[in-house]
């Protein structure tokens, strides 16, 4: 079943908070409605109470991504299974009134929820989508951005499982910082060779989300002249 696209709901919820920056955009009913986006039918029963409810779910979903990013697959699955049990949903065949050129419904699988509130609807759909994504592509496809201070969650859809950043912007920023650190080390050979890089303390010279070290060098050089 092609339901893993619902996993984007999980990413959006987790990334409504920037814990390293002390930022949280999930602070009002309006923010909750914006979070639902095109899934507006799930938001019919949104109330002020859903702000705190969704924040609680967000904390648990971030723990799933964190465990996956740390290589603890069993813990990631256990945490997600606990959410699936608490927020169940049922797949149904739906057409949503969408017809093909011959006037026939475009049948597809849809996650039908019977929620007690808007948070339950959101959580059920997001967690089921994440579960399909995890089982289809692997636990290691769930990641936490390695660019400091960003801790955004992301879903790795690269062909070689090489993604380590949530965006090209973060990849470039991390590579520029690493390039400058290498230049400082070259100019001061007496400095310790194990100076941690800004992306998290390990060598980040490998693949990024599409930006290369050469791109980072070009981005860094103008500021050093």
Q: What is the pLDDT of residues 6-53, one digit of tens each?
A: 899 999 999 999 988 899 999 999 999 999 988 877 888 899 999 999
pLDDT for 30: 96
pTM above 0.95, yes or no: no
pLDDT for 216: 47
pLDDT for 182: 75
Q: Which residues pair with 91 in a beta bridge?
A: 111
Q: How confident is the model at residue 187 (pLDDT cuts 50, 70, 90)?
A: confident
pLDDT tens column, 82-137: 999 999 887 778 776 677 888 788 787 777 666 789 999 999 999 999 999 999 99
Label the pairing between strands 23-24 and 153-155.
unpaired
């Amino acid at each position: 079943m092609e339901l893993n696209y619902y996993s984007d709901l999980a990413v959006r919820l987790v990334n409504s908070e920037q814990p390293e920056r002390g930022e949280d955009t999930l602070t009002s009913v309006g923010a909750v409605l914006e979070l639902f986006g095109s899934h507006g039918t799930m938001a019919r029963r949104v109330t002020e109470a859903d702000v705190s409810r969704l924040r609680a779910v967000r904390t648990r979903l971030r723990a799933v991504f964190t465990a996956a990013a740390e290589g603890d697959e069993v813990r990631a699955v256990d945490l997600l299974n606990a959410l699936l049990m608490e927020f169940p949903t049922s797949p149904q065949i739906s057409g949503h009134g969408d017809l093909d050129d011959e006037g026939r419904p475009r049948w597809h699988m849809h996650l039908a929820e019977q929620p007690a509130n808007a948070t339950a609807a959101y959580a059920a759909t997001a967690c089921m989508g994440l579960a399909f994504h995890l089982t289809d592509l692997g636990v290691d496809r769930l990641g936490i951005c390695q660019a400091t201070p960003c801790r955004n969650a992301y879903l790795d859809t690269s062909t070689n499982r090489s993604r380590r950043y949530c965006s090209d912007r973060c990849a470039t920023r991390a590579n520029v910082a690493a390039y400058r650190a290498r230049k400082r080390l070259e100019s001061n050979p007496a400095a310790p060779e194990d100076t941690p890089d800004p992306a998290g303390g390990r060598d980040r010279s490998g693949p990024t989300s599409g930006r290369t070290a050469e791109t980072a060098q070009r981005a860094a050089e103008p500021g050093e002249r």
